[in-house]
């Protein structure tokens, strides 16, 4: 009996060691990421960003979630207006993305990770920053450069963001097909999966994919516009419009540039599809005026939740059994945000949404689901083999210990960039050159904003609204 316990103990220690030898921490393997981030998000909701940064779990460079921690810190430093520190964190995260794109290094570094993941869960694998998060990384880095009056640096970042989306558009259909094909080989079809996995249609909305970000395109166009690269600006405004075709401010900018650039065919088409109060405007020169563009960040993106699915899976002996697997999911509804209202000189303006981050996240997860399920099936089969081996060595006790380990490590990967805003709105107004005090109403809270308007220039105002916390920053482009 003592020898049996010793053998079982060795097996358990071996399992835990293999899990620990990966780049994941013990805490990452046995607790959900969203649980680890609760204190961070509470501090963020109170506007205490320095405390939020300190509460982020400490991770070494070799940790599987190290890149994600950098993103969280960079976002919080950005909110604290510590743009130099935010820039450093984002630069480190971008460097990790570049390293991951080198195929040889990916295969080499992941050989150990995959062993640990098979014996534990997906939290043992390196967090690959999703494409929508990559575009947000570059967008925030561009804003960091703008805050430091570095337009050339901002231009580099928006070009990087556009390249990410262009490449993703080329690869998207093939990757989805290949993932579904691999899952089908494991005996699970999309129809069978859909019957059990909760729909996220309300959260996803009309999005065609989880990586094309209208806000990133808009910010890109805005910067190109500010530096006089009007053709590039026009292209990116149109890309944003494809995603948000009814956005009033996008229609305004595209109508202005279409006429300035004499895009005759486009003008004819826009007359049919744009709002009449947009197409009736024919004075495109700002005389002693500039524009203020207000970017409104609302709330915090929802966290992934764990969900259990019971799926029929064939074991290595071709036996069909039902297994319970843990997978991530998002809530199937969207938070409602009141538009920011601006009353100025007898006119009323309100913001309009340009991106819903939670929709991008839900769509990205839905597209990724076949690959997640395939990995789960491989993991279950491997764990079942280990359970049988322990049962042979330790009898019922070995079987019990193996089952306890398997249940303890059956955790869904709920990692995501959780300090991002949930929704981003834009509002744009032409104002006379000079000093202005704007009174904004956001979620019932009055926020006074002082801006300096320069002739034919853009003043960018970043407005953050998280619960009862509201703050802003003004930049002259």
Tens-digit pLDDT profile for residues 63-75: 889 999 999 999 9
pLDDT at 86 over 60: yes
pLDDT at 239 over 50: yes
Burial of 322 (0-12, 13-18, 19+ CB in 10 A): exposed
What pLDDT was estimated at residue 255?
Answer: 95
Report d(CA 104, CA 80) in Å as an integer: 38
Q: Where are the domains of the chain?
A: 2-476
Lowest mean pLDDT of 25-34, 217-226, 284-293, 412-421, name the range.
25-34
Range with the largest mean pLDDT of 165-179, 230-244, 432-446: 230-244
Contact 240, 212 (CB under 8 A): no
CB within 8 A of 146, min separation 6: which ones? 154, 223, 460, 475, 477
Mean pLDDT of 54-79: 94
Q: What do you get for the CA distance between the two ends of the chain, in Å?
A: 76
Range with the largest mean pLDDT of 24-38, 211-225, 399-413: 211-225
pLDDT band for position 164 (cuts 50, 70, 90):
confident
Lowest mean pLDDT of 112-126, 236-250, 304-318, 434-448, name the range.
112-126
Mean pLDDT of 172-201: 62
Mean pLDDT of 290-305: 95
Lowest mean pLDDT of 175-189, 307-321, 338-352, 419-433, name the range.
175-189
What pLDDT was estimated at residue 117?
Answer: 47
What pLDDT was estimated at residue 266?
Answer: 93
β-strand 469-476 against 445-453: which pairing, if any?
unpaired
Stated pTM of the model: 0.85
Lowest mean pLDDT of 13-17, 164-168, 208-212, 360-364, name the range.
13-17
Range with the largest mean pLDDT of 124-128, 203-207, 296-300, 328-332: 296-300
Report d(CA 461, CA 257) in Å as an integer: 22
Report d(CA 220, CA 19) in Å as an integer: 42
Which stretches within 148-247 are classed as H helix? 151-185, 190-196, 201-204, 214-226, 230-243
Contact 128, 100 (CB under 8 A): yes
Which CA distances in Å does 392 have to 6, 7, 241, 321, 417?
14, 11, 63, 20, 43
pLDDT at 104 over 60: no
Report d(CA 461, CA 231) in Å as an integer: 24
- Comparing 65 with 210, the larger pLDDT belongs to 65
- Comparing 128 with 263, the larger pLDDT belongs to 263
What pLDDT was estimated at residue 445?
Answer: 83
Fold assignment, 2-476? 1.25.40
pLDDT at 349 over 80: yes
Report d(CA 391, CA 350) in Å as an integer: 66
Question: Tell me: the pLDDT tens digits for 135-159?
Answer: 999 999 999 999 999 999 999 999 9
Mean pLDDT of 265-283: 88
pLDDT at 118 over 80: no
Mean pLDDT of 437-447: 88
Which stretches within 307-447 are classed as H helix? 357-409
CB within 8 A of 231, min separation 6: which ones? 261
Report d(CA 291, CA 247) in Å as an integer: 17
Which stretches within 101-130 are classed as H helix? 103-119
What pLDDT was estimated at residue 374?
Answer: 76
């Amino acid at each position: 009996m003592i020898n049996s316990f010793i053998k079982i103990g060795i097996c358990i220690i071996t399992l835990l060691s293999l899990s620990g030898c990966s780049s994941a921490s013990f805490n990452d393997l046995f607790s959900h990421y969203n649980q680890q981030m609760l204190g961070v998000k509470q501090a963020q909701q109170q506007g205490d960003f320095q405390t939020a940064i300190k509460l982020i779990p400490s991770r070494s460079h070799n940790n599987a979630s190290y890149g994600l921690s950098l993103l969280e810190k960079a976002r919080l430093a950005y909110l604290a207006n510590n743009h130099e520190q935010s820039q450093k964190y984002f630069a480190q995260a971008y460097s990790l993305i570049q390293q991951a794109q080198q195929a040889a290094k990916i295969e080499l570094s992941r050989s150990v990770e995959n062993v640990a993941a098979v014996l534990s869960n997906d939290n043992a694998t390196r967090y690959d920053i999703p494409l929508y998060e990559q575009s947000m990384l570059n967008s925030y880095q561009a804003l960091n450069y703008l805050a430091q009056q570095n337009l050339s640096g901002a231009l580099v970042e928006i070009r990087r963001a556009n390249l990410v989306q262009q490449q993703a558009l080329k690869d998207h259909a093939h990757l989805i097909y290949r993932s579904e094909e691999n899952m089908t080989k494991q005996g699970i079809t999309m129809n069978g999966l859909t019957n059990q996995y909760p729909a996220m249609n309300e959260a996803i909305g009309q999005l065609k994919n989880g990586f094309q970000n209208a806000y990133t395109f808009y910010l890109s166009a805005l910067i190109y516009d500010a530096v006089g690269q009007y053709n590039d600006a026009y292209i990116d405004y149109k890309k944003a419009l494809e995603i948000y075709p009814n956005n009033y401010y996008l229609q305004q900018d595209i109508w202005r540039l279409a006429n300035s650039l004499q895009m005759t065919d486009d003008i004819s088409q826009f007359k049919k599809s744009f709002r009449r109060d947009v197409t009736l405007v024919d004075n495109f020169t700002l005389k002693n005026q500039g524009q203020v563009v207000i970017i409104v960040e609302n709330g915090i993106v929802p966290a992934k939740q764990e969900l259990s699915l019971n799926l029929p899976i064939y074991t290595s002996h071709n036996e069909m059994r039902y297994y319970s697997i843990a997978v991530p999911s998002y809530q199937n509804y969207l938070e409602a945000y009141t538009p920011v209202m601006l009353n100025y000189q007898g006119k009323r303006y309100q913001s309009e949404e340009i991106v819903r981050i939670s929709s991008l996240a839900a769509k990205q997860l839905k597209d990724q689901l076949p690959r997640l399920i395939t990995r789960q099936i491989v993991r279950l089969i491997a764990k079942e083999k280990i359970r049988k081996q322990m049962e042979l060595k330790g009898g019922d006790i070995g079987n019990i210990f193996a089952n306890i380990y398997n249940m303890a490590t059956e955790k869904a990967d709920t990692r995501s960039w959780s300090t991002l805003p949930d929704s981003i709105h834009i509002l744009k107004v032409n104002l006379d050159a000079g000093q202005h005090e704007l009174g904004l109403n956001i979620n019932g809270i009055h926020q006074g904003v002082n801006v300096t308007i320069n002739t034919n220039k853009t003043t960018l105002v970043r407005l953050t609204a998280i619960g009862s916390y509201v703050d802003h920053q003004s930049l002259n482009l």
